[in-house]
Amino acid sequence: MINVNRYRCGYCGACVSVCPTCAIELVETWIEVTDDCTECGACVSVCPIGAIEVPQ
Amino acid sequence: MITKTDKYDVIVVGAGPAGSIAAKTAAARGCNVLMVEKRQEIGDPVRCAEGVAKPQLKEHIQPDERWIAAEVKGSRIYAPDGTCVELSEDVSGAEVGYTIERKLFDRALAREAALAGAEIHVKTRATGVILEGGYVKGITATHLGEKFEVRANIVIGADGVESKVGRWAGIDTTLQPADLETGAQFLMADIDVNPDYCEFHLGNTIAPSGYLWVFPKGNRSANVGLAISGEVCGQGKRPIDMLRDFIEERYPNGKIIEIVVGGVPASGPLEEMVTDGLMLVGDAAHQSDPLTGGGIVNAMDAGKLAGEVATQAISEGNVSKARLKEYETTWKSRHGKRLKRSLSVKNHFVPMTDSELNKIVHSVDGVDLSKMSLFEMLGTLIRKNPKMLFSLRKLFI
Ligand SMILES: Cc1cc2nc3c(=O)[nH]c(=O)nc-3n(C[C@H](O)[C@H](O)[C@H](O)COP(=O)(O)OP(=O)(O)OC[C@H]3O[C@@H](n4cnc5c(N)ncnc54)[C@H](O)[C@@H]3O)c2cc1C
């Protein structure tokens, strides 16, 4: 599952829009991720502020 | 119960420009309307450069000085080497004219929806749709941690770039990273900025695959931001870092009084914006301009059309996909061609090197573009750069 650095995150929802499994939800000021996450990295790619990473 | 009743004519999910106009339109025509917004404050945080063309805006709301931060005469486009061409306001596209305060603007629109009779709930997040016999019949939602269900004849998904309403009902609105423009912006204060022009800066160092903008906001302040393709973003520096580089050089003494981040669909509109009992409007239907990223007026147009068609469809007792299609067809007949053109232009310009971009801007150096229509201007560009812009010929000449 992806790691979201919530201190860095600007809660814009860009990651939500590209998630192919609908695993990401923006709840007001934080991101929630469900087990449907496949670690595909689409969200990592689009994050304008670099707040998301796929664990090595 | 959280809402006044458990059944509405229309439920609107999301209180951005698309949602508020849809709610206002349907309520003004006599529908019982519920609009839910997951944020606790409508319009905040901002995800926008706040530029909008005057005539298109005025079709939907009377400009009000409370949410107009600045007014410009036109735009200046800068080549990577700093050469600049000037365009008048009329040809600058849907993003140039006013710089608005989205926080106040979005609230003004929501207030209009409220005055028209719509019921509005904030801090209320849709979590799914009720599907029965293939029809969308309402939503599940949560308010302050409390879950509830509410039904409607039609649901309008106005839930922006992160839209899920469509996905819940079987319309795949997932964007590919390459189809998302992702950006960062600082509202900067105490900077030297020409209050009369919106600036657009091109170049593979400044904003590869995108552009950087400076939109004046009055009183020595401006929205300074940039957006790039989501695909390019993953390969190197992030928009926020590129923006810091630019600011360090251009406005070393400016102060940052707000940070904005966000994504905008740059794919061109969805093929299908409706299904049985459901309509998608605004960024949820990818209606923003793929070239400029401008989406406010397109979203408002969609909200209005959707509100009108929804009212009629409900009064006829037919909310099938075939009936709701009228909204999609009308919206596309108004905006489809222009957005297709924008997409072609974008696809053409994105791979260009800095020296090619310089050449194109140089080719119109000294030509008075300020009186031309957009068509005339692009025609001129193509005539002056027949080789580089060959494949765009068919679109503009
Ligand atoms: C960096 C950047 C700069 C931009 N600059 C410009 C510009 O200068 N000019 C321009 O015209 N356009 C610009 N745009 C695009 C513009 O902001 C959008 O096109 C416009 O806001 C779309 O309006 P909308 O109503 O469709 O969606 P939004 O304004 O995004 O509203 C959607 C609303 O739905 C809510 N929502 C989402 N999910 C749920 C849910 N499950 N339940 C309840 N509520 C929900 C959200 O919280 C949000 O309030 C820019 C975009 C970005 C990212």
Q: φ, ψ for residue B19 (rounded to 5)?
A: -65, -45
Domain boundaries, chain B: 7-45+104-175+268-343, 68-98+177-265, 347-396
Q: pLDDT tens across B179-192, in order?
A: 999 999 999 999 99
Atom 2 of ligand 1 has which residue's CA nearest to it?
B48
Residue of B159, B186, B300 with the most ligand 1 atoms within 8 Å of its CB, for mutation: B159
pLDDT at B103 over 80: yes
Domain presence at residue A18? yes
pLDDT score recorded for residue B239: 98
Task: With beta carbons less than 8 A apart as the criterion, state whether B36 and B124 touch.
Answer: yes
pLDDT score recorded for residue B397: 53
Query: Residue B353 corresponds to which amino acid?
Result: T
Alpha-carbon distance of B397 to B395, in angstroms, equals 6
User: Nearest residue of A to residue B285 by CA position?
Assistant: A17
Average pLDDT of chain B to the nearest whole number = 95
Choose among A22, A28, A45: nearest Cβ to B231. A45
B55, two tokens? 């005539």
pLDDT score recorded for residue A52: 98
B83, two tokens? 């050469």
B312, two tokens? 């009629």
CB B227 near ligand 1, within 6 Å: yes
Alpha-carbon distance of B295 to B292, in angstroms, equals 9
Alpha-carbon distance of B24 to B33, in angstroms, equals 9
Q: What angle do CA A19, A23, A25 make, to 5 degrees?
A: 95
pLDDT at B91 over 80: no
CATH of the domain at A26: 3.30.70.20
pLDDT at B385 over 70: yes
pLDDT score recorded for residue B319: 98
pLDDT score recorded for residue B382: 85
Choose among A22, A45, A49: nearest Cβ to B261. A49
Domain presence at residue A50? no
Higher pLDDT among residues B390 and B150, named by residue:
B150
Q: pLDDT tens across B361-379, in order?
A: 999 888 888 777 767 777 8
**Contacts B38 to A, Cβ<8 Å:** 27-28
Domain presence at residue A56? no
Position B396 confidence tier, pLDDT thresholds 50, 70, 90: low
Domain count, chain A: 1
CB B95 near ligand 1, within 6 Å: yes
pLDDT score recorded for residue B88: 81
Structural domain boundaries enclosing A19: 3-45
pLDDT score recorded for residue B394: 74
Position B89 confidence tier, pLDDT thresholds 50, 70, 90: confident
Q: What angle do CA B201, B205, B208 make, to 5 degrees?
A: 75
The CATH class, in words, for B68-98+177-265 is: alpha beta
Q: φ, ψ for residue B275 (rounded to 5)?
A: -145, -175
Q: pLDDT tens across A9-48, in order?
A: 999 999 999 999 999 999 999 999 999 999 999 999 999 9
Least confident of B81-95, B110-124, B293-307: B81-95
Fold held by B7-45+104-175+268-343 = FAD/NAD(P)-binding domain (3.50.50)
Domain presence at residue A34? yes
